Structure 1
């Protein structure tokens, strides 16, 4: 018999072991969150680029100043600013493109800085020049992503001539500083700082898998707390983020240098979509199991938790063993358990194809061609990345402004870039007036706050959100600047290092949080004033006042002067989603009728995913940026239903892979495609409340067709049947269908 002391020791060891396991799990989850938050290490790469480029440029400019026997202040500051702008703005995939962008940026910087220095003695002329530069810098964006960055270089070069108040006599020195900085940074960008597309692709795959593990962890929380709405929202959010990383990965496939040698991009696209399908199926089955958890045996719930834990930890052997047990029919006869087992096995096989190297083996042969991507060599990019990132909502906002019946020269027919250029100019003019009332010497901080409100913001909602976050970041940054200023006062080396660290940190968090970016820039500004010997609490308070005024002016102009409404953009995003969904369903129907398709269903699947991402982005802009009247809960619910539509359509497309001609299921796809087109044409969507008992349901006709499919296959266990049924249920929540839907005659 075990003594009480031995029993106590056993309990202690068990407790310590459980505690260590919990710590290891938390560390693993934290690592996954960090890796998944930076797919391809894009943020880390840009932070390193700007740190190395600016830091080395400062040393080069300091050495140049010593060689020319010139005061280093002008050379170091102007050279450092241009280095920062080029290091963060030049995002061309090829070295030749990067060199061209650096060359054009250098010319624009020389032109803008020269104009600023030459007209600086004439105050009114310099203010008019500031407004004109603001207009041109935004107007240039019409020529593509490269000119977005070049326009900012153009604007910032003028701004810093006002900030540093360089006299005309130092204009040649300024030219030398800019030319040397551009030459040095250009050399870095085409050599040691040039990204490797192949490595970026591998890192994005790592991020995709980390996101998938995070989704599995969220599914475990749903299993443990099925009635907690917060855990369900977290699971939906994780699945949306998985889709975003998958889209980023798909966009990278358009770059031939990113692909493993001899591996067609269509194969990697198919693998990415399979990961999403498997994850959707696992999480969907877990939601169903959690909803009826109380009716299941404890052993079954334990098996579900075991397979999810094994999947999350990458325990392939353990997950495979439990998944096989769940997938096998047994006495419990719970369809959701079998679906979970089958989905887990599918996900394990998909991930295993990458781990084993079979996926990236050029010599791999698959026998018959892939029905979802027959022409693998004729790859059609579904997403065009902008600077290595997913595109914003500018194209949708542009379409929301389309009014072909308007007069030829009416403002309603202006392009988005022209409208934003006018907004930027008006905001700059108003900010100059308001900023000079606060401080004639520091008015430019109001102008920059008003101007950057229109950088990367396509709608009024995005502008409002960005301006508000700028104010918040400035307020928080003031405290950080004061605290750090007391530490580095009298220590210029540490202050210079703090400037570099703050710049790198600002660009590292830029995509995640605009407030955090502004926080680091405000702290950096305090350190810059410390180096210039002008640091004081009063200067930082002026910075806050000017920033707040400029941001408020940006908000007002975006809402009142040629506004691009967030709700209209959301409507276009929703219409685009349903149109892409209908195209995918048409392609599925065509395949099921045994006819050739014009576009790969796999490409259409990715287009649906991208359209869904734009809906989520537009919804966020509306709910965050709208001051009054945005029903956040209703919009969130509706967007989640749209996400369910996309996931069901993706599963349906995968389910017809090995299926021969099936006229009954083709008819279902045709009906669903027509329903999606009706929703695309509808001016608004109705609420998501389903009809009451006894009321006709919009999807009744499709259900009759689905019954025909079920009778011809293995009943309701058919994955195509389940996917089509889920899609039908989601679509009928979004709006009534017309009277054309009738029960077909047998």
Structure 2
């Protein structure tokens, strides 16, 4: 059960955020109630505690403490401004707009400025919500001070969260998700013709979730690892395990069919599966394969500290033995490849266990296991820590700066929302402003804002229905209503990264309960909430489309070029190293490519949304992203193989590879040029297969150990995937090269 929880919420980040916020609010309510504060002040305290908790975004505890300390004076100044200026509506509106502009503009200065700006906005909104006046300020000062103090107590005492602890939980999540992926691969062996499509879809989901966790670990290594060498070691071992698991899935799909499985199958939803025979369920080699996949899964899920005896060591030795050709069962080449994949995955898991759990008992090692350990030790010793600072990306200035552009957009949108909101209600116009503000958070393009606004509206409508029911059930039972508010707050934080619609639902349901506590609940109030939400979303979308707009296709094109540039750099660097040139930092380059691809995937969500009317454009966007994920997989595999060269005695560089990737890199750059400028004269080159481009060599090493044969398949499929991008992106193909 713990593994399931760790897999569903990597690092327990959502769980801790929800529990911490609920704890801060509950402590605030208890303290204020013990001091005999009235219900409106309790509501203000709950809102202030929530804002002070979720606004702090730093990961280091010292930085969090400084931000929490600064949050109090910012909150007190904001509530003072709101209470004093409320008597002059025009001045209050202008002040609110200035706070909104400043809160968004300050994001350029980092997480602390972002958090303080968010607190300033939320507390000013709080003053409007509770209709603060100057005589209320002394009690509000006490309420906000108590709220910020309880937030700090919940953060630093009740539920402390360190970078090392978060990284450790992310490691557990990676283990759990890797175990789940292996479980799905076992299901693939037993799936019949009617079930195979569903199992393959689960395989795609499991592969994507494992990759997501690997990226999360990458983001936490700098602050969570004890030193740079440990961070590099964990980074490499996580990458090895991820690649080995994805490769094993492809081999299993190929073994189940008479045809070679394209890597695209694991990345494109609904991709057609290879046709052909199904692997016999009762074949001896299949029974052995099923047993060994279960053993591999056990090896992943069982940490060193939870093992005793020699049974697990014997299992490990048997799996690592498949790295030797003599230990492979008598079966078809495709099935033998699966056993080779199991052996390589076992080696990756051995390295992962050593990196995460420390040294292990080697007394029961077989010669094959000892050789694998020697290879891993040699790789660990070869890890080099780069002392060169990362090159700084030149910052955009003026209106091209994202924070400046967003600040102007939000200010204009909020102005429209204030005007429209006043027409709907002189008392609750601020709901439209809040919605306009929220739809701009973490969005860049017009399409993203449109999708977010629609989801917020849907969640609000559903939340109004729930709020009506809850308010009617609670009646005047104050503490029951507060308890339900806490449940809604926890659900809001726990579901926020998963579904913006669900988050909006729980927010609106909680507000219905708060209105009940303030004795302002009515059907008309909740209907007004829907109207103000729709107005705010419309103002946000209109502003994004008219004021300094960033079109979705422009944003996705910029990110697509970034992905292609990083793919070209990684491919060239990996092949250079495989050809014998000096060692470079390929793991970091691979992760930069992955992060760029994740940004592109997020930006294309408006294009791939299920309700989009542009079906062909949706299918094209999905296909392009899937092809790029395929390219990234082969790029990671090339980088991982190249990383073995300095330390692994069983493989050696092959100078013949130096000339075979020029066409791939040229084609990637041609596609990037065409995306930057549709009128570019760059053309795609085609020609013979990558393998046929190599001149005959005399390397007398075993097939599985020779670097050339390990790399050729990835280069060939990378070449095919890059060429596949030409049609959907409209890149012309060089006719002369095609004729040859």
Could you state the TM-score of these two structures normalised by the residue count of structure 1?
0.82
The answer to whether 1:731 aligns with 2:722 is: yes
> Cα 1:509–1:381, aligned 2, differ >3 Å: closer, same or farther?
farther
> Cα 1:635–1:380, aligned 2, differ >3 Å: closer, same or farther?
farther
Question: Given that residues 324 and 341 in structure 1 are in contact (C-alpha distance below 8 angstroms), is that contact kept between their aligned partners in structure 2?
Answer: no
> Cα 1:253–1:453, aligned 2, differ >3 Å: closer, same or farther?
same
The answer to whether 1:622 aligns with 2:607 is: yes
Per-residue deviation, 1:668 = 2.4
The answer to whether 1:512 aligns with 2:498 is: yes
Q: Aligned to 1:563, which of 538, 549, 571?
A: 549
Per-residue deviation, 1:349 = 3.1
Query: 1:480 and 1:305 mapped to 2: Cα distance?
Result: 48
Partner deviation per Cα, 1:682-741 (whole Å, 9 max, x = no partner)? 21799xxxxxxxxx9725263432575798765698222222222122112112687599
The answer to whether 1:186 aligns with 2:177 is: no
Per-residue deviation, 1:338 = 2.2
What RMSD, in angstroms, separates the aligned Cα atoms of the two structures? 3.7
Greater CA deviation, 734-743 or 165-174?
A: 734-743
Greater CA deviation, 613-622 or 119-128?
A: 613-622
Per-residue deviation, 1:216 = 3.1
Q: Aligned to 1:634, which of 620, 629, 654?
A: 620
Question: Given that residues 373 and 602 in structure 1 are in contact (C-alpha distance below 8 angstroms), is that contact kept between their aligned partners in structure 2?
Answer: no
Question: Given that residues 32 and 213 in structure 1 are in contact (C-alpha distance below 8 angstroms), is that contact kept between their aligned partners in structure 2?
Answer: no
Greater CA deviation, 49-58 or 529-538?
A: 529-538
The answer to whether 1:294 aligns with 2:289 is: no
Per-residue deviation, 1:431 = 1.4
The answer to whether 1:61 aligns with 2:49 is: no
The answer to whether 1:440 aligns with 2:426 is: yes
Question: Given that residues 492 and 503 in structure 2 are in contact (C-alpha distance below 8 angstroms), is that contact kept between their aligned partners in structure 1?
Answer: yes
Query: 1:459 and 1:373 mapped to 2: Cα distance?
Result: 46
Question: Given that residues 265 and 379 in structure 1 are in contact (C-alpha distance below 8 angstroms), is that contact kept between their aligned partners in structure 2?
Answer: no
Query: 1:722 and 1:623 mapped to 2: Cα distance?
Result: 31
- Which position in structure 2 is the counterpart of 1:113? 79
Per-residue deviation, 1:337 = 1.8
Per-residue deviation, 1:567 = 1.8
Per-residue deviation, 1:471 = 1.0
- Which position in structure 2 is the counterpart of 1:390? none
- Which position in structure 2 is the counterpart of 1:389? none
> Cα 1:383–1:605, aligned 2, differ >3 Å: closer, same or farther?
farther
The answer to whether 1:244 aligns with 2:212 is: yes
Query: 1:518 and 1:458 mapped to 2: Cα distance?
Result: 20
Question: Given that residues 372 and 601 in structure 1 are in contact (C-alpha distance below 8 angstroms), is that contact kept between their aligned partners in structure 2?
Answer: no
Matches within 5 A, 1:711-722: 718-722=709-713
Q: Aligned to 1:494, which of 472, 477, 480?
A: 480
Question: Given that residues 417 and 432 in structure 2 are in contact (C-alpha distance below 8 angstroms), is that contact kept between their aligned partners in structure 1?
Answer: yes
SS in 2 for 1:254: helix
- Which position in structure 2 is the counterpart of 1:11? none
SS in 2 for 1:553: helix
> Cα 1:34–1:95, aligned 2, differ >3 Å: closer, same or farther?
closer
- Which position in structure 1 is the counterpart of 2:358? 360
Partner deviation per Cα, 1:262-298 (whole Å, 9 max, x = no partner)? 9621111111011111111111112212332517555
Per-residue deviation, 1:415 = 1.1
Per-residue deviation, 1:44 = 0.6
Per-residue deviation, 1:310 = 4.6
Question: Given that residues 117 and 171 in structure 1 are in contact (C-alpha distance below 8 angstroms), is that contact kept between their aligned partners in structure 2?
Answer: yes
Greater CA deviation, 553-562 or 497-506?
A: 553-562
- Which position in structure 1 is the counterpart of 2:170? 204
Give the unaligned 5+ runs of structure 2.
Answer: 259-275, 301-311, 363-372, 679-683
> Cα 1:368–1:236, aligned 2, differ >3 Å: closer, same or farther?
closer
SS in 2 for 1:698: coil
Question: Given that residues 608 and 619 in structure 2 are in contact (C-alpha distance below 8 angstroms), is that contact kept between their aligned partners in structure 1?
Answer: no
- Which position in structure 1 is the counterpart of 2:675? 683
Query: 2:198 and 2:242 mapped to 1: Cα distance?
Result: 22
Query: 2:320 and 2:230 mapped to 1: Cα distance?
Result: 31
Per-residue deviation, 1:439 = 2.0
Q: Aligned to 2:125, which of 132, 135, 159?
A: 159
Greater CA deviation, 276-285 or 459-468?
A: 459-468
Greater CA deviation, 414-423 or 318-327?
A: 318-327
Partner deviation per Cα, 1:136-182 (whole Å, 9 max, x = no partner)? 22111111122222222111111111111111112222223223322
Q: Aligned residues, how many?
A: 676
Q: Aligned to 1:698, which of 676, 680, 686?
A: 686
- Which position in structure 1 is the counterpart of 2:337? 339
Per-residue deviation, 1:454 = 0.6
Per-residue deviation, 1:552 = 2.1
Question: Given that residues 502 and 520 in structure 1 are in contact (C-alpha distance below 8 angstroms), is that contact kept between their aligned partners in structure 2?
Answer: yes
Per-residue deviation, 1:558 = 1.8
Greater CA deviation, 665-674 or 437-446?
A: 665-674
Per-residue deviation, 1:306 = 4.5
Matches within 5 A, 1:370-449: 374-378=382-386, 413-449=399-435
The answer to whether 1:480 aligns with 2:466 is: yes
SS in 1 for 2:675: coil
Greater CA deviation, 191-200 or 603-612?
A: 191-200
SS in 1 for 2:126: helix
Partner deviation per Cα, 1:413-438 (whole Å, 9 max, x = no partner)? 43111111111112111112222222
Query: 1:231 and 1:275 mapped to 2: Cα distance?
Result: 21
Q: Aligned to 2:594, which of 588, 609, 626?
A: 609
- Which position in structure 2 is the counterpart of 1:18? none
SS in 1 for 2:690: helix
Question: Given that residues 319 and 343 in structure 2 are in contact (C-alpha distance below 8 angstroms), is that contact kept between their aligned partners in structure 1?
Answer: no
Q: Aligned to 1:86, which of 41, 48, 52?
A: 52
Per-residue deviation, 1:634 = 2.0
- Which position in structure 2 is the counterpart of 1:16? none
The answer to whether 1:351 aligns with 2:339 is: no
The answer to whether 1:137 aligns with 2:117 is: no
Partner deviation per Cα, 1:556-591 (whole Å, 9 max, x = no partner)? 222222222222222222222222122222222332
- Which position in structure 1 is the counterpart of 2:580? 594
Question: Given that residues 382 and 606 in structure 1 are in contact (C-alpha distance below 8 angstroms), is that contact kept between their aligned partners in structure 2?
Answer: no
- Which position in structure 2 is the counterpart of 1:3? none
Question: Given that residues 460 and 505 in structure 2 are in contact (C-alpha distance below 8 angstroms), is that contact kept between their aligned partners in structure 1?
Answer: yes
Question: Given that residues 260 and 360 in structure 1 are in contact (C-alpha distance below 8 angstroms), is that contact kept between their aligned partners in structure 2?
Answer: no
Question: Given that residues 462 and 625 in structure 1 are in contact (C-alpha distance below 8 angstroms), is that contact kept between their aligned partners in structure 2?
Answer: no
Question: Given that residues 699 and 729 in structure 1 are in contact (C-alpha distance below 8 angstroms), is that contact kept between their aligned partners in structure 2?
Answer: no
Question: Given that residues 354 and 360 in structure 1 are in contact (C-alpha distance below 8 angstroms), is that contact kept between their aligned partners in structure 2?
Answer: no
